[in-house]
Amino acid sequence: MPARRKTDRRRSTVPPWDVELDLSIGWLSNRTDEAMRSEWERYRDYMLEQNAIDHPGGRPYAWWVFDRDMPAPWIHDQADALHEMGEMGADEMAAVRKLWAGAPSAPKFMQESACQ
């Protein structure tokens, strides 16, 4: 009898690519809101972890809809919205500052803190 391979427990927390896309940028599929809420509850931790790595100063579309019950701001405006809401910790703010350093279109909160 062949030896059983060990399964990676993390694999079950990684959404299929189409679900990840829907949760990240909005409903591109024909999933219902109820189905998307269920997918968000299942994959929320993974999505937020990946987002913190790939897009500091932003949140997945589903976070805005399901966790905050509000429309998602334009991606460029999310850092300022999160800053105003008190949702960014010091590490994330540092990552945003590093990402946008020297950019003329940096988030407003960075421009305001530079003037003070």
pLDDT in tens, the chain (116 residues): 555 544 444 445 899 999 999 999 998 888 999 999 999 999 999 999 999 999 999 999 999 999 999 999 998 899 999 999 999 999 999 999 999 988 888 898 887 655 44
Residue 58 to residue 73: CA distance in whole angstroms: 9
Contact assessment for residue 92 and residue 52, using Cβ atoms and an 8 Å cutoff: yes
| The two structure tokens encoding residue 17 | 């690519």
> How many whole angstroms separate alpha carbon 116 and alpha carbon 112?
7
Distance CA 65, CA 72 (A): 7
Residue 97 CB partners (closer than 8 Å, separation 6+)? 110
Q: pTM of this prediction?
A: 0.82
Q: Which two tokens stand for residue 7?
A: 């399964």
**Amino acid 29: pLDDT:** 83
The pLDDT, as a whole number, for residue 113 is 55
Distance between CA atoms of residues 35 and 58, nearest Å: 23
